[in-house]
Each structure stands twice: as C-alpha cells, then as structure tokens.
Amino acid sequence: MSGEGWYQEEGKPAQSLKEGDIVVIPANVKHWHGAKANSWFSHIAVEIPGENTSNEWLEPVTDEEYNKL
C-alpha cells in the first residue's frame, strides 16, 4: 500500500491506513476502503479462492459519511 487511506467495516469506526499497513478482511464482511481527502492511495489485494464465492460492489460511500472522517 502507498499513500494514505481509510478502511471501514460496516458498523465499526474507520481505520487510518498508511504505507506498510496490512488489513485482513474475512469473507462476507461489508467494508469500504479509499484515499484520504488530501492523498492518493494504491494497494494490492489478494483473494483466496473458494467455492461458491463472489466479489460484489455495493453502494458508494456518501460525501457526508466520508467528510466525517
């Protein structure tokens, strides 16, 4: 990961991310991640294959939610 960003699981506080941080996301956990307001953000995602799995994009984070961070 490079730059600075946010990671947040549904119903939990957002976590600040910086270069070198690692986030492990269990299956079926609704979450979002992205850049901080004045930064860029790039990351590498590794997915472990499984049976009957899928990756689903959900609703975008609203400006109101993001601006609270």
Q: Mind listing the pLDDT tens digit for each residue in 23-57?
A: 999 888 999 999 999 999 998 988 888 888 888 88
DSSP H or E stretch at residue 64 = helix 63-67
Name the β-bridge partners of 15. 7
CA distances to 30, 39, 54, 69 from 62, in Å: 15, 18, 24, 12
What is the pTM assigned to this prediction?
0.84
Q: What is the pLDDT of residue 1?
A: 66
Report the first-to-last Cα separation within the chain, whole angstroms: 20
**11 CB contacts (<8 Å, ≥6 apart)?**
none
Instruction: Enumerate domains of the chain plus CATH numbers.
Output: 2-43+60-67 (2.60.120.10)
Q: What is the pLDDT of residue 19?
A: 92
